[in-house]
Amino acid sequence: MNGTAKHNGHVCPQHILLVEDEQDLAKLIILNLKTLNYSVDHATTLKQAMHIIEHKKLDLILMDRMLPDGDGIILCEQLRQAGKEVPLMLLTAKDSEADVVLGLEAGADDYLVKPFSVLELRARVKALLRRGKAQHEQTQQIEFNSVTINASTREVTAFNK
């Protein structure tokens, strides 16, 4: 089942924030993500993106670097400094090796250069969401002495020492 996750027994779509000021490209990306059953919010500025990030639980952020009110790398750095671990992919026309390295070192999990194939974008989104889900489930485990509790699945495992 693409684009969905279970939460308290209910199937919920995974939530993606797209930060892209080029309207035609944004429409194409949103259409493709929605066909995979993802819930998508769209922002065209860093300010709008910050508002959404502060008020919604996100599973992935797709962000352009060159936005009307600044560089997406700045927001990426701010999120990582604040301890936010939501997977983040930069989508940009900046294609030099130095730009890619700068983006990844700023905390981006992936970097996709425009123009890109929609099929590649979809595959990278799925991969980032798989990794993000696995990390989230791993952090939901509590260990005490010889007992492990998985908070998301509510499974308890006891080990003999």
Classify 12 as helix, strand or coil. Answer: strand
Strand runs labelled E in the chain: 4-7, 10-13, 15-19, 39-43, 60-64, 66-67, 70-71, 88-92, 110-113, 141-144, 147-150, 155-158
Q: How far apart are CA 3 and CA 64, in angstroms?
A: 22
Sign of the Cα pseudo-torsion (82, 103, 18, 71, in order)? positive
Question: pLDDT: is 7 or 59 the higher one?
Answer: 59
Q: How far apart are CA 3 and CA 145, in angstroms?
A: 36
Question: pLDDT: is 70 or 153 the higher one?
Answer: 70
Residue indicated by tokens 């944004």: 26
> Would you mind telling me the total number of residues written for the chain in this entry?
161
Strands 88-92 and 66-67: unpaired
pLDDT at 134 over 50: no
Q: How is 101-124 classified by DSSP, letter by letter?
A: HHHHHTT-SEEEESS--HHHHHHH
pLDDT tens figures, 39-79: 999 999 999 999 999 999 999 999 999 999 999 999 999 99
Is residue 19 a contact partner of residue 63, using CB atoms and an 8 Å limit?
yes
Average pLDDT, the chain: 87
pLDDT at 37 over 90: yes
